[in-house]
Amino acid sequence: MKNRTRSLDRIDLNILRCLQENARISYVDLAAEVGLSTTPCLERVKRLEKAGIIRGYKAVLDPRALKANLLVFVEISLETQSPTVFDEFRRAVTRQPQIQECHLVSGHFDYILKCRIPEMSAYRQLLGDVVLTLPGVKESKSYVVMEEVKEEFSLYLPDFAEFDDK
Q: What percent of the chain has pLDDT over 70?
A: 92
- Do residues 34 and 41 make contact, with C-beta atoms less than 8 angstroms apart? yes
pLDDT confidence of residue 5? 44
- Euclidean distance between CA atoms 40 and 50, whole angstroms: 15
pLDDT confidence of residue 7? 86
Average pLDDT over residues 63-74: 95
Domains and CATH numbers, the chain: 10-58 (1.10.10.10), 70-144 (3.30.70.920)
* End-to-end Cα, the chain, rounded Å: 23
Question: pLDDT by residue (tens digit) across 101-111?
Answer: 999 999 999 99
Q: Report residue 1's pLDDT band, with 50, 70 and 90 as the boundaries.
A: very low
Q: Report residue 159's pLDDT band, with 50, 70 and 90 as the boundaries.
A: confident
Q: What is the 3-class SS of 39-105, one letter each residue? A: HHHHHHHHHHHHCCCCCCCCCCCCCCCCCCCEEEEEEEEECCCCHHHHHHHHHHHCCCCCEEEEEEC
DSSP-derived 3-state class of residue 111: strand
Question: pLDDT by residue (tens digit) across 135-148?
Answer: 999 999 999 999 99
pTM of the model: 0.83
Backbone φ/ψ region at 56: left (φ over 0), alpha (ψ -120 to 50), beta: left
Nearest to 96 by CA among 120, 69, 125, 139: 125
Question: pLDDT by residue (tens digit) across 34-62?
Answer: 999 999 999 999 999 999 999 999 999 99
